[in-house]
Amino acid sequence: GAAMSHGHGRCSCCCGEEAAAGAGDRERAAAWGLYLRIDRQRLQCLNERREGSGALVFRSWEERGDRSQFVESDDDEELLFNIPFTGNVKLKGVIVIGEDDSSHPAELRLFKNIPHMSFDDTGREPDQTFSLNRDPRGELEYPTKIARFSNVCHLSMHFPKNFGAETTKIFYIGLKGEWTQAHRHEVTICNYEASANPADHKLEQITPQTHFIS
């Protein structure tokens, strides 16, 4: 819980961190390593002003302070990320770095295992919602309800609003958690369930037979 507190420890964050990249920092960098488990070919960012810029905000913990890479929204302040993973993820926490002004996102809504979400789909109930504070240095960690995010093959992140600017700007999104290899048919089931069709659950009994095809 220390990461959530403001006052103490802030100084050591900005001054001593680069100087003393000790074991603690290596552990921290490893914990925030889920960006390596994103299927970059299928990663989508909707309403990004520059195509492909949404993917740039998912990078290493050490590079979180890089201000040259960012995504900015286009038509309005909304951004929607569709993030497929290369296996199953237990998501434990999120960090969002923006500008210290009104372009910083003010809210984050998380949805799990709904591939290809569009803005039309964001009307449904999210799995978790966070009110965000301005965090230009990546000091605030938003802990997820781990039981709810323990088997995630696809994560959608919806930023519905900011602090009043016309567009939203994000420099870094950190995803903390654990990754495990998915079995072939688990991925198939994940895709089935995404279409939210009640008949899908009957199909699940058939899935093992798809091995004959492959």
Q: Domain ranges in the chain?
A: 26-181
pLDDT in tens, the chain (214 residues): 444 444 444 444 444 444 445 678 888 888 899 999 999 999 999 999 999 999 999 999 999 999 999 999 999 999 999 999 999 999 999 999 999 999 999 999 999 999 999 999 999 999 999 999 999 999 999 999 999 999 999 999 999 999 999 999 999 999 999 999 877 666 565 665 555 544 444 444 444 444 444 4
**Are residues 155 and 80 in contact, defined by beta-carbon separation less than 8 angstroms?**
no
Can you name the CATH fold of 26-181? Jelly Rolls (2.60.120)
**Are residues 107 and 159 in contact, defined by beta-carbon separation less than 8 angstroms?**
yes
Closest CA to 61 of 95, 109, 89: 95
